Amino acid sequence: MDVKVADVAGTLLTNDYCDYKIKGIKLQTTTLETGSCFDQTRPVLATRRPGAHEMVDRNVPKFMPGTLDHRWPTEKPDPKAFLARGDGDRIKAGELSPSKKKIAPPKAHAFTTRDNPPNTQFRKFYERGDLPVQIEHKGHKNVILWKVDIDKLDYHHYLPIFFDGIREREEPYRFLAVKGVEDLLKHGGSRILPVIPQLIIPIKTALNTRDHTVMCVTLQLLQKLVESADMVGEALVPYYRQIMPILNIYKNKNVNTGDGIDYGQRKKHNLGELVLETLQLLEMRGGEDAFINIKYMIPTYESCVHL
C-alpha cells in the first residue's frame, strides 16, 4: 500500500491544466460571484450551509408495513367520476382500470453533489487581508510566500482556518488553502496534536459536500495529517463517528474497467482507492483501538494489520 502523497496543491493545478487544454473539459467552480482574484465575494444567504441537501417538496409514496411495499396514499374519490351509459366497452379495453405499475421507493441521491457555498472562513480572512500568505509565481510551479516565519504562527488560530478552505473550488482560494495546509503540517511537529479537535468540523464539512474533487483533496490532506506528527492517529480515534459515515458510503466507489487500466489511481482521482488507503493508514497509525472503531462504523472493512 502506497500512502505517500506528493504535492497536492501543485497536482491540482496540473490536472486542471491537462483537463482544460488537452481534454477540453470546462473548469468547474462553485460560484460566479468573483470575476478575478481582486474582487470580493458577495455575501450568501445565511440559510445556505455546506453539505445541505435539498428537501423533497413533491409527494412521495409511503411504505406500508403490512404489504412491505410502497403505495401512494388513497385519493379522495371524485363525486363526478361515475360510470355512464356506454362505458362498458371502455372498461373491457382497460381504459378505466387503475394503473398496476409497481412503485419504486424514492431515490436517496447518496452520491449527488451537495451545496458548497463560498462562505468559508478562509475566504473571509484572505479577502480581509488577515492571512500572512501570498502566491509566489515560479517557472515550474507556484508556491506560497509566507510574510512571517512559519514557526512563529499560532497553530490554534491558523490551522483550522486553512483546513476550512480545503473545500474551495475557486482560485486562488483553493491553491492557497491546500498549499497552506501542506506547509503548516510540514513544519508543525508537536504543535499539531493539540489542534486536532478543531480540525474535525472542517474535515467533516468538506467530506459532506460529496464533491468528487473536494473529497479527493480532503482525503489526501487527511493522510498527510496522520503522518505529520506522532500520536495524531491515536488522537483521531475518538472522532471516527464524525468522519467515517461518509467514507462508508464511498468505500466501494471504484471504476470497473475490466482488464483496462485506470490512471485515476495514480493521479489520486479514484475515490474508492483513496478511501481504502486512508482507512488502512488510520488503522496502522491509530493504535490498538483503531480497528474496532473503524469496524463499528464501516462493517465491510477488513483489517490490513491482523491478517
Q: How would you write the pLDDT of the chain (307 residues) with one tens digit per residue?
A: 444 557 787 777 777 767 767 777 776 654 555 555 556 777 777 778 888 877 666 667 777 788 777 777 777 777 777 777 777 777 777 776 666 666 666 677 888 888 888 888 999 999 888 999 988 887 677 788 899 998 899 999 999 999 999 999 888 888 899 999 999 999 988 899 999 999 999 999 999 999 988 999 999 999 999 999 889 999 999 999 999 999 999 888 887 777 777 666 667 778 888 999 999 999 999 889 999 999 999 999 998 887 6
> Are 57 and 66 within 8 A, CB to CB?
no
What pLDDT was estimated at residue 294? 92
**Type of residue found at 34:** T
What pLDDT was estimated at residue 36? 54
What pLDDT was estimated at residue 38? 56
3-state secondary structure of 70: strand
Is 0.85 topped by the overall pTM? no
* Alpha carbons 177 and 170: distance in angstroms, whole number: 11
* Cα dist from 254 to 82, 268, 275, 299, whole Å: 55, 12, 10, 18
CA proximity to 246, closest of 229, 268, 266, 222: 222
What pLDDT was estimated at residue 61? 74
449527488: which residue's cell?
112
Q: What b/e readout covers 232-264, taking b as 16+ CB neighbours within 10 angstroms? A: bbbbbbebbebbbebbbbbbeebeeeeeeeeeb
What pLDDT was estimated at residue 283? 93
What pLDDT was estimated at residue 100? 60
Question: What single DSSP character describes residue 234?
Answer: H
What pLDDT was estimated at residue 5? 55
Q: Is 275 exposed, middle or buried (0-12, 13-18, 19+ CB in 10 A)?
A: buried
Cell of 57: 417538496
